[in-house]
Every structure is written in C-alpha cells, then in structure tokens.
Chains A and B, each alone.
Chain A
Amino acid sequence: MNYKTRIFVWGEDIMKKQVEKSSALDNNLYVLRQLFAASKLRLPFEILFQVSKGVTQTLIYTVLFGSIINSIVDGRDFYKVMEYIVIVAAFTAANIWFQSWFQESFLAKDNARIQKYMLMNVYAHAASLDIQQYENPEFYDKYVRSLDEASSRASKLSSSIANAAGLLVTVLYLLSIIVSKEPWTLVFVLIPLVPGWLLGKKKNSVSYDLYIKNTSPNRWTKYLNRIMYLKEYAKEMRLTGIYGVLTRKYDDTMDEIIKNEKKYDRKTTIMTLWMDFMNDKVIYVGILLYVSYLIVVKKKLLIGDYLIIQNAVASMTWRVSALINSGLDLQQSGRFSGLLREFLETKPLVHVNEEAIAPNPAMESIEFKNVSFSYDGKKEVLKNINLTVKKGSRILIVGKNGAGKSTFVKLLMNLYQPTEGEILYNGKNIQEYEVNPYRHIYSTVFQDFYLYAFSIGQNVVMDHYEENKAPYVEKALTEADLMKKIQSLEKGILSNVTKEIDDDGFVPSGGEKQKMVIARAIYQASDVIILDEPSSALDPLSEARINEITLRSSSEKTVFMISHRLSSAQYVDEVLLIDDGVIKERGTHESLMNANGLYAEMYRMQQEQYALEGEDKNGQD
C-alpha cells in the first residue's frame, strides 16, 4: 500500500459536483427513501388525510348543499332529503375521526420518530468525517445547515407531497362536478391559468431576489443581536467604545434592509394585485355572469346548479393556485433536501481500510518518516519531519505561536493525514490500523477542551459511567488536585457540570475545568499521554503539580507535551523545537543549552526574569 502521496478531496468539491448532477427530484427522492426507512406509514396516511379533508368538504358544501336547494325547487320529499343528510353526516363522522387521530396522535409521535432517525443518521455521519473537514469554515457552515434540515426536512417533504396529492384529487373531483353541470364554465377557469402561473413564478423569483439581497445584512443583524446580549461581551460593552461602533453598524445594516424591502415589496405588491385580479375577478365574475345568463335568460339551469357551480369554482380557484404553489414548494424542498444529501454523501478523507487491524495498546515505538503536512496544498505547515520515539520517552515540544506544534500532535493521532511521508506505530503505518481503536490508545489534554453537561464522573470517564468506576475516577480527581472541591459538592462526583441541563449543576472556574480535563487523561491510564498546553490557566502550584504527575512520576509512560513553560524541559528526555514547520533543534535540555541556539535563547529569556539580582548573568555566557 502506498501512502506517500495523497490526493486531497475537499468536501466542497464533491458537493459542487453533486449540485450539478442532482435535480430537485433526485434530492427529494433521496430524502423520501429516508422517510420510508424511518416510518413506512407516514406518507400513505398523510396523503389519505389530505384527500379526506378535501373530499369531505366538497361533498358537504358543494354537493349536499346544492342538491338540498335543487330538491326544494324540484319539490322533493323532506324525508328523502333528511336521509341524504344523515348519510353524508355518517360519512363525515368517519372521516373526521380519522383526521383527528392522524393530526393529534399519529403525527405527534411520528414526527419525533422521524426526527430521531434523521438526526442519528447525521450524527453518525458527522462523527465519521475528519476533523480537518470540520475546521474548514465552508464545510462547517454546510454541516450546521444540514443539521438544521435534518430535524424537520423529511416531515416537511411528506407534508408537501401529501398536500399536493390532496389538492390534485380534490381539484379533479370538483372538475368532474363542474363538467357534469355545465362544461363551458371550465373555459373561465382555464383562461387565467397560464398568466396566473407565470405571474406566480415571477413573484417567487422577486421574493427570492429580496431574500438573497437581504441575506448578508440579515446575518449582520443576527451577529450584532448575539453580541449585544451575550454575557461574554458585556464587560467590553461597558468599558470600551465598541458599543458605538456596533450600533452604527446596526443602523447602516437596518437602513439597507429597509431600502431593499421597499424596492422589492413594491414589485411584489403589483404582481399580487394582478394575480388576484386574474384568479378571482376574471374567473369569478365571468362565471357569475355566464351562469346568471343561463338561468335568467336561457332558463337552462336550476338555482341549485348555479350554487353548486359557484361553490365548486370558488373552492377550485384557490386550490389550483395552491397546487401551483405546492409545485414550487416541492422544488424548494428539493434544494433543502439537496443540502442534507450533500452532507450525508460527503466522504471522509480517511479512506476506510477494509483490511485494517486492531492496534496493540502497549506502545513500543512511534516513528515519523519524512512527514509533511499542508492544509491547502500550498503552504506547508510541517515539513519533512523525522522522529523516532521509544517506549517511556518524554518529549517536550516547544516553539513560537503558530509554529505547527498542535498540527504535529493531530497528525500523530490520525486526526489529520500527512500530505507526504508516513507515521509508524509499533512499526506499522498508522493508516493500517482501525481508526477508532487507534485513536483510543492516547490520553489527551487539549488546549481547547470541552466539558459536557453530564456528571463529573462521566466527564472524567468519557464513556458510559458505571458505579464500579467511581474509585478510579476519585483517584484521578485526587491526583489532579480537584477531589477536595468535589467532595464539598452535595452530590460529589455525580454532580452535573454546568447549568445547561441541570439547574443545580456545578459551574467550575477556569482552573477547575482544566484540572477536570487533566483527571480525564489520568483516568484513561494509556501508555501514551499527550498534553497540549495544559497549564495556561493554572496558578503556579497547580502547574508544578501537573508537571509532577505527568513528567516526573510516570516512568513507564510515553509523554508528548506542548508547552511554553520551558521549566518543564529538565524533566523530559528530549526537547523538540519546531520553528516554521521544521524541527530546528532537538536533544536534551543540557545539549540544547550548550548548542546555544534558539532554544537556549528562549530558555534564558524566561530564566533571566526569575534569576535573583546578583546571581544572574553568571555561568550562562
């Protein structure tokens, strides 16, 4: 297997191709398949529901009503009429029974079922994608939008289709009624159909233009709205002049929105007026005149027929425009379905290796062979890294901000894949191992960690928490110097962290959070520990303690530590100084000090500030 060269397939490229080749119909079918997998009965029931609604109303208000009137004029028997009314009432009762059950009972349960199915799909897929894709803002934006879609898209699609089906059936039913009474009236229905449809399309495109025009300003107002009320910004809002900058920005943005709104709404209003005129006036007045003529002058129709036709036409006109809208609606739905589909069909960068083997958690060696990495294929973040680490080594990685230290660690954990070269774990390329078991080998503390709104125990274990794990959790917390604080909490390690879910939750301070994360790493008891600036928010005593735990006492463990605090250097076996993507200096603290390079300069800078007056400057030069 050759891992030397790797072609990067960014999520977006795949997405673009998909947008080109897949139509709205394709996308809707894709989501429809998911709908069927989540709930087989949903669509058939919903179609039945819509058809039942349309047919019941037509039967009562058009057919029954008209025939009562006609029977009066005809002079039919009262009991015959009553019989007819009772039969329709019974049919209505059955239909309403079904409608109520569907709407209030089935739908409530089914929506939750579908939402769960869709979200689970998205979650599972999201977790299979690579961290590198996440860090790409465009991809992340798409991910967030598809999550938004996931919770409701399938249900919405079902409603749109059922709505269209219900409308179609009802319109056909109404058509058959009209034709049976007086076919010529159909002409009035058909004449405005085409101009009405064209106007509708035009109006939709104007609304879409407005939406596009306002997208950027709307995002601005949302951003400003967030900042104005968010806790994090409250201090600066009071202490600096940024409030003035932001309100001026808000003014400009709102003025732009209002300007756009005025411009486009004028167009929409005129088109709506025309549509209203076409749909309502032409059809309605035309039929009124024609049918009145037939009754009064030609004496061809009964007054009941007139009312039936009038009713049928009135309920048909709005249904026809609703049908046109539902077509446009389905097209729009296709666009949103497409978003979801693009995401679910995005391939992870790490190719699933069918022959992957399980790694041995007992680490023997780690080797970087000519490893280079670049995010965009142009600028290399790491260049030609070569390194061999034996079991039990303690490595300190130092360097300026942005030198590539964190990237190094992410490559090691197979969160990123090298653009060139290979990384070996126990002599085998890490790509040959199963992805998750391989990543689980490491205990990690990252700079940007996250605490979950679950119990403290859960946050330490980071897996299913069971009671028998408690002693180990407590031990880890004790070592991380946090147990005393936790014992003072009412529920101890079962206290929930943050108030996000639990109003009585424990809200840790910055330093306490960091200690909890360090307890995480201690608990994992892996052979390899990775620490990415673990001490930036800690006071000096806690910092010394962390060094003690991770570097001094763990003779068996392999440790990779990234730190700006060079005081840790003397406890490690090797210091790597990464500068501008390459390992510029390496060796023990002593050898690097003797080499008198960049490392020595950095170290002295920190040391100098501690050296007491009179004692400094000696022995260094």
Chain B
Amino acid sequence: MDKTNKKNGKSVKILKNSIYLMRLIYRFSPMLFAFTIIAAIAEFCFTFFNLLFTKRLVQEITDGNEFAVICVTIAVWCIAYLLLRFLIISIDNYFRPVYTKVLIKGLEKYLYDKAAKVDLECYDNSEYYNEFIWATNNSGEMVTGACNSLGAFLGYVLQISGVISMVVLIDPSLSALTFVSVALNIVVASSLEKKKVEYRKEIVGKEKVERYVERVFYLQDSAKDLRLTNIKGVLLETYEKAYQGVQTILKKYVGKIAFVSFLSTFGFRYALNTFVIYGYFAYKLIVKQSIDLSDFVVVNKAMVDLYLLLNRWSGQINALYRNAVYVDTMKKFINYEPHIKSEADAKRIPDAEELILEFRNVTFTYPGNDQPTLRNVSFKINPRNTLAVVGYNGAGKTTLVKLMMRLYDVDQGEILLNGRNIKEFDLEDYRAMFSSVFQDFNLYALSLAENVKMNDNDVLTDDEIVSALKHADFGGKLSTLKDGINSQITREFDEEGLLLSGGEKQKVAMARVFAGTGKIIVFDEPSAALDPFAEYNINKRIIESSQKKSVVLISHRLTATRMADHIIMLENGEVVESGRHEELMQLDGKYAFMYKVQAEPYLKKA
C-alpha cells in the first residue's frame, strides 16, 4: 500500500513538474515549445510512413507488379521522406539550438533576479544554500537537457503507439505477445534502475571524498602544503580508502545487475521479440501458408524499431525523474518569498542631511543557533558622527553592521532612522543610504573603473573615480597602469589583466566607499592587509570622511577607533562598555586593557 502510494507519488511528481517545466519553456521561449512538439510529431510520421512503405513495396514486388508502378511508389515515398527529413533536420540543427539559448537567457535572468532578492540568512544555512541556491547555478544546462528529454519522451510515446498499432493491424494474435513484452520490459528496466539507484546511493559518499581530494589538488592554496608537509600522503591514502570502498560496493552489485541485464536483453529483445516471432512466421508461412510475406517483413522491422524505442523511452523516464527532482528545487527557489522586502506603502529616505540612526534594545539570533549573537544592544549615531565598534574575534561586530544595513531583520527591539522603524522604508532606497566595505569584499573581472563605481549608471565621472582611487592611496599604482582606470582586473578574461596584491585590492575596495554616494559609511576591518604607510593614510582618510558623513568603523586596530565620537565594546554580543576613548581609558575596564595590550610595546619605548 505504502509502496504503491510512493510509486504514484513519484509519477505524480514527474507529471506535475514536467507540466511546470513546459510552462516555463512556453513562457521564456514559445518558439522552442512549438518546435519541440512539431519535432515529436514529425518523428512519429517518419517511423509510421517507413513501415507502411516497406509493406507496400514488398507487396508490390511479390505480387509481380510492373516496374513502372514500383518506381512511382518509390518516388512518392521519396518525396514524403525528403519533406519530413527537411523538417526534422532544420529543427535539430537550427531552431532547437537557437531557441534553447533564448530560453536559457530568459530563465537565467529571471533566476538571477530571484537570487539577488533571497534573504541573506538562506546563504548561512549550508544545506539550504547547497540545495536551493547553488543548485540553480547550472540551470541553463539542466533546463536544456530537461526540454530535450521532454520532447524525446513525447516523440517516443507517439512512435511506440504507432508501431504497436501497426503490428496489431497486421496480426491481432501478435498483440498479446507485444503487450506482454512491452510490460515485462518496463518492469525489468525499472527494477534494474532501482538496483542502480541503490548502489549509487552507497557509492555517493565515497565519491564525495574522491572528488574532495581531486579538488584539493586543483587548488592553488594547498599547493604550498603539498610541498612543505606530508599532507600529500594523507590525501592519497584517503583517496585509496575511498576507492577500495567503491570497488567493494561495485563487487556486491554489478554481478546481479549484469545477470538481470542479460535476462532482459536476451529474453525480451531476442528470445521473445525475435526468435519466437521468426518461428511463428516460419510456421504460418511454410506449414499453414496463411500469411502475406510483406506482413512478416513489416512485423520484423516493427519489432526492431519497437525494441530500440522502448529502450530509449525507458532511458527518458529516468531522465524525466532526474529532471523532476531538479525542477522541484528550482520551483522552491522560484516560489521563495523573501521576508526582508519593501512594504507596499514603503517610504522614501528623507532628503534631510541630518540622519539619526538608532539601535534600541536589539537582540538577534542567527537561524539555527541557540545563542543570540547580539543581546539588547542600544546606541545612537548622530549626523556626521563616528561610531567605532570594537571587541574580540566573534563578539558580533559584523553582525551588528549587517543588521544596520538590513541584510537581516532584528528579532527583538528595533532599529530607527530619524525615529521611524527602518522596515517602513523602501528597501533599495534604504540600503543605498550606505557606502560600505566589508572584510570579505570581492573584486570583479571588470574594469578598474567599474570595480570602483559598482554601478551601471554614469553618475560618477572618470575624474571622480581617479580621485577616489588616489584618496584610497592607490594613486601610485594607478600611475603605472597603461590603461589607467580602464585596466581589466584579473586575468580571467584578459591576458594583460591586472593582478593585484592583497593590500592593493583592499585599497580598491576602499576607493568604492570614497566614490560612493551613500550618506553613512561603513568600514569593516579596513586596514587588515595594509602596510603601516597605507594604514596611516587610510586612517587619516576615514577621519576626513567623518567631517562630511556619519561613519561606522569596525577595527582591531584601536589606533583607528581612538578618534571616534563614540566607541562601543562588544563582548559575547553585549555592549559591555561605551563612551569616548578618554572616558573608557579612565574607566580602566576591558577596553582600556585591550588598548594597553596593543599600545604597550610602542609606549614602552617612547
């Protein structure tokens, strides 16, 4: 009972998802949809006419018709054949590849848009991320495959029914044999597939390990370790173990699979569908002399076709199932409704220069964690003020900034902009209020200018970009570049591309902020990879920025945070101390201790 339910569930899932897929195809490329159906019908006509023609020709020859009549039959068939082949070849070689690309373009853009709106918390959950977000990565390939197998499946169903009806028309007594072998073939094929799924499941874990070892050998990061330590031996041994595991599993299954495969191939294809039929016709023709020779010829041809079609058809069923699983994830991804979004009556950000941002008793727990990362945090940033957030690794500093920029929403308490909850504002508008550089920034394989602008508009002039780069202490490097701000970053697409060092990359990221139009600037560890000169310069720039805009600064370098208007020290998600540098030093608490540890070596000598 349970089993049949499951089976039904599976076919319902395949059906539902195939329909969903067809709707997607129709939506993004109606031409592809139309040509897929036309191709399936054309294939059916082709197979059917071929059988008809063969029968007619053998009949005419055995009947002793005149040569001229035979020539006419051949000519008629020839024309029909040419027309159908012309249609099939044009679809396969031109229309299908071209409109598949159109489909990919439409669908991928649609999915990109979804991906850019999914809540960031979905990325933190690695299972969800791998299953629903990263899985979407090769949607183009998957959908192309799915569309092809859907078309092929439809074509095979039509052709198989054509071939079977031909056989039934010729000799109804053969229909029983045909139906039995079709049914048995499906049963055996699906049990064979089940066995294969079973052992693939066992193997998958081992192969994951093999792939991991392969990946480590790919990585440039690990290249040094492979030379400096004996981790190579460990990796090879791990691979060897996984390999032995795979072989053991294979030995357990493949013998049985080979046996079943032999039974099904020999039993159905040859014993039942060929030799029994040959014997049957030989008997009818020789002993009974009750049948037309052309019937034998056509049934033989039909049986060969039938077996090939069935084989391909069952292959397509498996493909359809794999597609259904994929479509399922894609459907979930498409139907995902982000929680963080603009309300219908969202407000614009006030034009006023005087922006006041306030955290009021904010508590936040990452989904899936038991302990809150931030507890009851309150503070206020006044216009053109600098807030410094300090604390040990893992104290919750970056989380605080992410909440501020509404990458997450708070669990308790609220964040207010000029006295209004930030959820009331238009999301894009609100986020555009910040210019930020995070610890884990990225550079893109685009031009240097685009990497600074990070925008598709032309609000910034080239001069402004250059001056932002100079501001970020990148001027020296810039003057050595032949193509200036039009230089391509990375060698991914340009062999002359610019390869930047860690410090230089950080400077480019800083330039983004200096060029940015945001009203509040966020720096998350801006100077980690910088040499003392660059660090000094950047710190000076940050102080300069705070003359015009509000600044939020996270840093381990307490020299950078010293001049902030307000410092909050986080420990285990709580604000343990807050105030100006002098006040906190006087308090002689945790901040003062941390500061002294860092300053001591310098001060001793002074």
B123 with A501: CB separation less than 8 A: no
Q: How far in angstroms is the closest Cβ of chain B from A454?
A: 7
A245 with B446: CB separation less than 8 A: yes
> Which of B62, B123, B261 sits near A231, CB closer than 8 Å?
B123
Q: Which of these binds chain B: A183-191, A331-339, A608-616?
A: A608-616
Docked CA distance A566–B275 (Å): 89
> Which of B85, B93, B445 sits near A265, CB closer than 8 Å?
B93
Q: How far in angstroms is the closest Cβ of chain A from B489?
A: 12
Answer yes or no: B421 CB below 8 A from chain A CBs. Answer: no
B236 with A439: CB separation less than 8 A: no
Interface-centre pick from B89, B440, B601 (highest chain A CB count, 10 A):
B601
> Which of B296, B442, B598 sits near A232, CB closer than 8 Å?
B442
Docked CA distance A78–B74 (Å): 33
Q: How large is the interface on A (under 10, 10 to 19, 20 to 34, 35 or more residues)?
A: 35 or more
Contact flag A401-B530 (CB < 8 Å), given A229-B134, A231-B123, A234-B120 = yes
Q: Which of these binds chain B: A1-9, A99-107, A424-432, A487-495?
A: A99-107
Q: How far in angstroms is the closest Cβ of chain A from B425?
A: 15
Closest to A268 in B: B93
In chain A between 225 and 279, which residues have their CB closer than 8 angstroms to a CB of chain B? 225-251, 254, 257-258, 261-262, 265-266, 268-269, 272-273, 276-277
Would you give the 0/1 interface string for A100-131, flagging 1 where the beta carbon is closer than 8 Å to chain B?
Answer: 11011100110011001001101100110001
Answer yes or no: B369 CB below 8 A from chain A CBs. Answer: no
Docked CA distance A296–B63 (Å): 10
A454 with B94: CB separation less than 8 A: no
Q: Which residues of A contact B296 (CB under 8 A)?
A: 69
> Which of B66, B231, B444 sits near A242, CB closer than 8 Å?
B444
Closest to A126 in B: B217
> Which of B93, B138, B392 sits near A539, CB closer than 8 Å?
B392
Answer yes or no: A442 CB below 8 A from chain B CBs. Answer: yes
Q: Which residues of B contact A105 (CB under 8 A)?
A: 254-255, 257-258
A610 with B74: CB separation less than 8 A: no
B531 with A610: CB separation less than 8 A: no
> Which of A123, A415, A442, A539 sits near B217, CB closer than 8 Å?
A123
A536 with B528: CB separation less than 8 A: yes
Q: Which of these binds chain B: A20-28, A42-50, A470-478, A508-516?
A: A508-516
Contact flag A606-B238 (CB < 8 Å), given A104-B257, A144-B218, A512-B393 = no
Q: How far in angstroms is the closest Cβ of chain B from A406?
A: 9
Q: Which residues of A contact B407 (CB under 8 A)?
A: 235, 238-239
B606 with A619: CB separation less than 8 A: yes
Closest to A137 in B: B491
Q: Which residues of B contact A615 (CB under 8 A)?
A: 603, 606
Contact flag A68-B67 (CB < 8 Å), given A442-B228, A444-B228 = no
Answer yes or no: A499 CB below 8 A from chain B CBs. Answer: yes
Docked CA distance A240–B428 (Å): 10
Answer yes or no: B394 CB below 8 A from chain A CBs. Answer: yes
B594 with A540: CB separation less than 8 A: yes
Q: Which residues of A contact B250 (CB under 8 A)?
A: 108-109, 112
B105 with A254: CB separation less than 8 A: yes
Q: Which residues of B contact A607 (CB under 8 A)?
A: 602-603, 605-606
Answer yes or no: B226 CB below 8 A from chain A CBs. Answer: yes
Answer yes or no: A525 CB below 8 A from chain B CBs. Answer: no
> Which of B112, B232, B539, B605 sits near A247, CB closer than 8 Å?
B112
Q: Which residues of B contact A244 (CB under 8 A)?
A: 455-457
Contact flag A104-B606 (CB < 8 Å), given A400-B531, A401-B504 = no
Q: Which of these binds chain B: A193-201, A284-292, A316-324?
A: A284-292
Docked CA distance A120–B229 (Å): 18
Q: Which residues of B contact A293 (CB under 8 A)?
A: 67
B271 with A89: CB separation less than 8 A: yes
Answer yes or no: B502 CB below 8 A from chain A CBs. Answer: yes
Would you give the 0/1 interface string for B227-260, flagging 1 where the beta carbon is closer than 8 Å to chain A?
Answer: 1111111111111000100110011001101110
Docked CA distance A604–B112 (Å): 50
Docked CA distance A452–B229 (Å): 13
Closest to A245 in B: B456
Q: How far in angstroms is the closest Cβ of chain B from A258?
A: 5
Q: Which residues of A contact B247 (CB under 8 A)?
A: 109, 112-113
> Which of A81, A250, A401, A453 sits near B501, CB closer than 8 Å?
A401
Q: Which residues of A contact B535 (CB under 8 A)?
A: 564, 606
B393 with A542: CB separation less than 8 A: yes
Q: Which residues of B contact A265 (CB under 8 A)?
A: 93-94, 97-98
Contact flag A104-B533 (CB < 8 Å), given A135-B220, A501-B212, A606-B559 = no
Answer yes or no: B177 CB below 8 A from chain A CBs. Answer: no
> Which of A88, A241, A296, A450 sits near B454, CB closer than 8 Å?
A241
> Which of A78, A127, A272 sits near B227, CB closer than 8 Å?
A127
> Which of A127, A239, A307, A537 sits near B405, CB closer than 8 Å?
A239
Q: How far in angstroms is the closest Cβ of chain B from A486?
A: 14
Closest to A499 in B: B126
Q: Which residues of A contact B371 (CB under 8 A)?
A: none
Docked CA distance A222–B304 (Å): 42
Q: Which residues of B contact A86 (CB under 8 A)?
A: 275
Docked CA distance A99–B266 (Å): 11
Contact flag A285-B74 (CB < 8 Å), given A105-B255, A537-B528 = yes
Answer yes or no: B351 CB below 8 A from chain A CBs. Answer: no
> Which of A229, A234, A307 sits near B136, CB closer than 8 Å?
A229
Sorted nearest first, the 9 A-B pairs with minimum C-beta distance are A401-B503, A511-B393, A609-B559, A241-B455, A567-B601, A244-B456, A100-B262, A610-B599, A104-B258
| A-B CB contact pairs (8 Å), 27 listed | A64-B278, A71-B286, A89-B270, A97-B266, A216-B493, A228-B115, A231-B123, A235-B120, A241-B455, A268-B93, A273-B85, A285-B74, A401-B503, A401-B529, A401-B534, A402-B501, A402-B503, A440-B228, A453-B212, A462-B231, A463-B231, A543-B598, A568-B601, A605-B532, A606-B532, A610-B558, A610-B602
- If A219-B492, A261-B101 are given as contacts, then 13 extra A-B residue pairs at C-beta distance below 8 Å, sorted by A number, are A60-B274, A109-B251, A147-B218, A225-B138, A261-B97, A265-B94, A272-B92, A288-B57, A401-B502, A440-B229, A538-B393, A568-B601, A607-B603
